[in-house]
Amino acid sequence: MLFLGFSSGLPILLVFSTLSVWLFKAGISRSTVTLFSWAGFAYAFKYLWSPIVDNFKIPFLQQMGHRRSWLLLAQVMIVLCLIATSLTDPSQTLVLTAVAITCLAIFSATQDIVIDAYRIESASHRLQGPLSSMYIAGYRTAMLVGGAGSLWLASYLGTEIYDKTVWQIVYLFMAVLMSVGIITTVLSSEPKNKKNNFLKISQHTKFLFVFILSFLGFIMSYNFLLNPFGTDEILQKFLFSIFKIFLCFVSSSLIIFIFIKTKFISKEQTKKIYLEPIKNFTNRYGKFAFYILLLISLYRIADVVMGVIANIFYLEKGFNIKEIATYSKFFGVFATILGGFLGGFFSIKFGTMKSLFIGAVVAAGSNLLFAWLALSKINIIFLITVITADNISSGFAGAAFVVYLSGLTSIKFTATQYALFSSIMLFIPKLIAGYAGSWVDFMGYANFFIITALLGVPVLLLIIWIARIAPIKN
C-alpha cells in the first residue's frame, strides 16, 4: 500500500501545485492559473466512470485480475499523459497544455478509484486505519518527489528566466518515476474480490461508447455556453459557472437517456450499476444519508480552496522556487506524513468521529496562520512554522477522513461507492477553488485565508450532530 500510495500521489501535484508554478513563470495570470485547478473536476466526477471500473473486465489483461488490470492500464496512461504534457508550452499552446493536464487528471482519478477499492477489499474496517496511514505515507512521499523534487530539479536547471525546456524535462522525469507504481502493480497479488457480476464484453463496449459520448457532450456544452452578461464581476462569474455546469450535466444525461430509450443500452443494467450503489447507501442510513453526504462535500473545503493558491502566494510574498521546494514541499511532506500517522492512530484509539472532528478543527485553524503570514514581513522561520502546522493538520484530517469514507463503503460496491464519496468531497471545494485567484484579486490574501478558515465552522457542527444520529453502518 505504501508504493501504491506513491503512485497515487505523484500525479496530483503535477496537475496542481507544480503546474501552477510552471504557468506562473510562463506569464499566465493568477486568475487563469487557479482556473486550471478545475482539471481536478476529474477527481470530483470520477463516480461517473467508477461503475465501469467496478463492473467491467479488461479483456486483454484478464490474467492479472480485475483490480490489477485496471490499475496497470491507468498507470500506463498516466505515463503517456505526462509525456504529452512535457511536449507542450503553456506560454504558446495553453489550450494543449490544458487538454494534456485534463487527461492526466482523468487517468490519475481512475487510478485512485482502483487503489481505493484495492485497499478496502484487502482488509477489514479495523485495519483501515493502519492501511490508510501507510497509503498517506506513500502518497505524501510522492508529493515530496512531485512537489519539492520537481521544483528542485527546475531550480537546478534554471528558472529565473522562463525556459519551456526546464519544465518539459521535469515532467518527463516524473513520467519515469511512475515506474514505481507499474512495478508494484505487476508484482502485487489480486485482492479477494467479492464481485462476480461482471458485465459481458458486448455490454462493456456499449456502456463505454455511451459514456465517452456523454463525456464529450459535457465538454462541448461547456465550451459553447458563453456568459451572456459580458461582465468580469467575480460573484456573477461564479454563479454563472454553477449554472453552466448544471446545464452540462443536463446535456450529458440527455445523451444517456436517448441511448436508453433506443434500447442501445439496458435500462435495468444502467440502474443496477449506477443507482444500486446509491440505494444501498440510502437504505443503510435512511433520512440521514443526505446530511452525511453534506458533511462529505464540505469536510475538505477549507484546505482545498486555500491550497490551490498557496504556491502563487509564496512567490508573490517574495520566496523563490528553491525556498518553496525546500520549506513548503520538503519539510511540509514530512509534516504531512506525521499528521497522517497521528490521524490513523487517533482513529483506532479514540474512534473515527472524534478524529474527524479534530482534523476539521486543525485544518480550518491552520488557514488563520496563512492570514498571519500574509500580514507579516518575509521570514523563513514564519514560513516553516506555518507550513509545518498546515501540513500536520492536513495529514491528520486526510487520514481520519479516509477511515471515515472507508467505513461508509459497502464491500458490495467498493469502487463505485468510494468514488461517489470522494467525488462529492471534491466538487464544491474545486468549484470554489477555481476562482481563488479572482477572490484574492478582490479582497487580498489575508481576508481570503480568514474566510477559508471560517468555511470550516459548519463542518464542525455537522460532525457533532452526525456522530450522534448516524454512526457508521457497514
Tell me the pLDDT tens digit for each residue of 454-464: 988 889 998 99
Q: Say if 28 falls within a structural domain.
A: yes
Q: Choose between 40 and 334: higher pLDDT.
A: 334
Average pLDDT over residues 212-231: 66
Banded pLDDT at 40 (limits 50, 70, 90)? low
Closest to 114 (Cα-Cα) out of 214, 31, 207, 191: 191
Are 81 and 104 spatial neighbours (Cβ–Cβ below 8 Å)? yes
Tell me the pLDDT tens digit for each residue of 139-159. 777 877 777 778 778 777 876
What's the pLDDT band for 391 if we cut at 50, 70, 90? Answer: confident
DSSP secondary structure, 60-80, as one string: GGGGG-HHHHHHHHHHHHHHH
Q: Please, which pLDDT band fits residue 474 given cuts at 50, 70 and 90?
A: very low
What does residue 379 show for φ and ψ, rounded to 5 degrees?
Answer: -155, 120
Asked if residue 193 is part of any domain, the answer here is yes
Higher pLDDT, 177 or 211: 177
**Within-domain flag for 169:** yes
Q: Mean pLDDT: which of 14-23, 224-233, 311-320, 384-393 is highest?
A: 384-393
Residue 80 is assigned to a structural domain of this protein:
yes
When pLDDT is averaged across residues 79-98 and rounded to a whole number, the result is: 87
Confidence grade of residue 79 (pLDDT, cut at 50, 70, 90): very high
To the nearest 10 degrees (0 to 180), the angle between helices 267-274 and 201-224 is 80
137 within domain boundaries = yes
pLDDT of residue 262: 83
Give me the pLDDT at residue 185, please.
Answer: 87
Min mean pLDDT across 84-98, 329-343, 368-382, 458-472 is at 329-343
Tell me how far apart the 2 most distant CA atoms of the chain are, in Å. 65
220: CB partners within 8 A, 6+ apart: none
pLDDT at 21: 78
Q: What is the pLDDT of residues 250-267, one digit of tens each?
A: 877 788 788 888 877 777
DSSP track, 230-283? ----HHHHHHHHHHHHHHHHHHHHHHHHHHHHTTSS-HHHHHHHHTHHHHHHHH
Which residue range(s) make up the domain with 234? 2-469
pLDDT band for 80, please (50, 70, 90 cuts).
very high
For 199, the grid coordinates are 458485465
Residue 358 confidence (pLDDT): 92
Predicted pLDDT of residue 159: 62
Distance CA 396, CA 399 (A): 5
Predicted confidence at residue 37, as pLDDT, reads 66
Question: At residue 226, what are phi and psi to the nearest 5 degrees?
Answer: -100, 150
**Would residue 390 count as lying in a domain?**
yes
Q: Which residue has the cell 473486465?
A: 57
Q: Does residue 360 fall inside a structural domain?
A: yes
pTM above 0.75, yes or no: no
- CATH at 296: 1.20.1250.20
pLDDT given at position 357: 93
Q: Considering the domain boundaries, does residue 259 fall inside one?
A: yes
How many domains does one find in the chain?
Answer: 1
Q: Average pLDDT of 47-73?
A: 77
Supply the pLDDT for residue 77: 92
